[in-house]
A and B are shown apart, each in its own frame.
Chain A
Amino acid sequence: MDIGVFTLSLAEWTAVRLTLRIAATATAVSLPFGIAVAYGLARWQFPGKGLIDGLVHLPLVLPPVVTGYMLLLVLGRKGVIGSVLADTFGIVFSFRWTGAAVAAGIMGFPLMVRAIRLSIENIDRRLEAASGTLGAPPVATFFLVTLPLALPGIIAGAILSFAKALGEFGATITFVSNIPGETQTISALIYTYTQVPDGDIGAMRLMLVATAIALIALVSSEMMHRQAQRRLTVAP
């Protein structure tokens, strides 16, 4: 058997690297926001909380294409915010890999927030009260007590968001199209392959790569989660 069929082509390598870059960027950039929103939803009572909660969860229930189209309307070159960003700061998302990261981040955001919020809600508030009586200002309590105790949920949320970003297709292709080397992710390339006569072998190779990445992410998250759960966190 010729093992050459298992060798990735240049376009496929590009798609793999691009997908990893998009997923990692989407997760890393959305994580602080995810923690902030999860904390707010878990701890604060304020008018309009239900609305915020709904907005955060919207990408989970909307068809991804609809989310992608909304992004195009808002963040596109001629979009409400996109035009301002482009004209004032020269920041353009549409048809760029950064736009793909935005789409992936937004699609994974509800999953991330849910996991983190749950773990924050499970923290005994008296531990934070104890921290306060020991002289820790609220910000110190957040970083020394709340965040370490929420770490298992934060890891779970980040991995879920990363996995979602790996597989994101509908919103991405709607918002930033399917441009080789810029926005053509593994999913988009598989889709392209299925549209051409001789694409089967390439699609299968990418299928194997995607499965491998997903498995590695899953297993490493399980390991990290267990580690964090067992010792709750590395001591500061």
Chain B
Amino acid sequence: MTHQQVFFDDVEIGQEIPKLIKGPMTNAHIMRWSACMENWHRIHYDRAYAVEHDKLPDVLVNGSWKQHVLMQLLKDWAGLGGWAWKVGFQYRDMDIPGDIITAWGKVTKKYEKGGSGYVELDVGLRNSRGVESTKGAAVVILPMRGGPPVPYPFPVQ
């Protein structure tokens, strides 16, 4: 992968990081993920159960899948020289087949700690129906120009 490393020095508060787009999501994508993690929750593959029993609009894109999209967004931005340390999010709405899902992040704060650059971001997933299905916040560590590498493994705290 050719990836231009992002440095703490170059990050500005309010800056949006490169978006990550997935989809359109289909039943096949949802089935593939469910089978991959052996999640047999019927709301992800049994439309009759999802709609008639659980009163949902359709089968749902798994929350367990959506969290990896947020993580990928942050990991790809941090690059191999940085570290996507922490992300917390709430699932506020549903994503269903047909949705294109866009992961986004916006820098809210930056500070230096122990020779590394800490960047806080608001993050979320927005679908092509305009619904913000997932919202959260993250902390990413970035190297500083001329500074030491971000430690790996990242120190447990």
B is bound to A:
no
By a beta-carbon cutoff of 8 Å, the part of chain A in contact with chain B is: none
By a beta-carbon cutoff of 8 Å, the part of chain B in contact with chain A is: none
